[in-house]
Every structure is written in C-alpha cells, then in structure tokens.
Amino acid sequence: MHQEEAIIEHRGYTGRVAHEDGTMFVQIENVSDVVIAECAPEQNPQEAFQALVEDYETDLAELEQ
C-alpha cells in the first residue's frame, strides 16, 4: 500500500515522504533528475531528506567540474 505522508523542505528543495510496504521513501520534487532514497521506516524523514539534498548538491557540483 502506497501512502503519501508529508511534504518537507530543505535548502529550497521540496520533497515528499511516503511509506510503502514497511519502507519509507524520500524524494526531491521539481528537479529534472529522479532523486529518491529508500530508508528504514524508523529513520527521521527530515534528516533523511536533508541527507538526500546534500548528496544531490554534491553530485551536481562534481558534474560541473
């Protein structure tokens, strides 16, 4: 079962948190790339989204070099 749970923000990015079959997913919305992470359901969603955004920004910076 897929259930949207929350919309969160970090550093100007908006994301979604959803739970499906006991797994939590966080996704960055409104970017040209598909950026999603699978997380343990007990993980803090805001912290998981912040880590996802920071990894995405690092990847973007490396691609620009």
- For residues 65 and 7, what is the distance between their CA atoms, to the nearest angstrom? 32
- Find where tokens 């803090």 sit: 44
| pLDDT at residue 3 in the model | 66
26-62 residues labelled b (16+ CB within 10 A) or e (exposed): bbbeeeeeebebebeeeeebeebbbbbbeebeeeeee
The pLDDT tens digits for 4-61 are 579 999 999 999 999 988 899 999 999 999 999 999 989 999 999 999 999 999 999 9
> What confidence score (pLDDT) does residue 43 get?
93
The domain total for the chain is: 1
| pLDDT score of 55 | 97
pTM score of the predicted model: 0.87
Domain that holds residue 15: 2-64
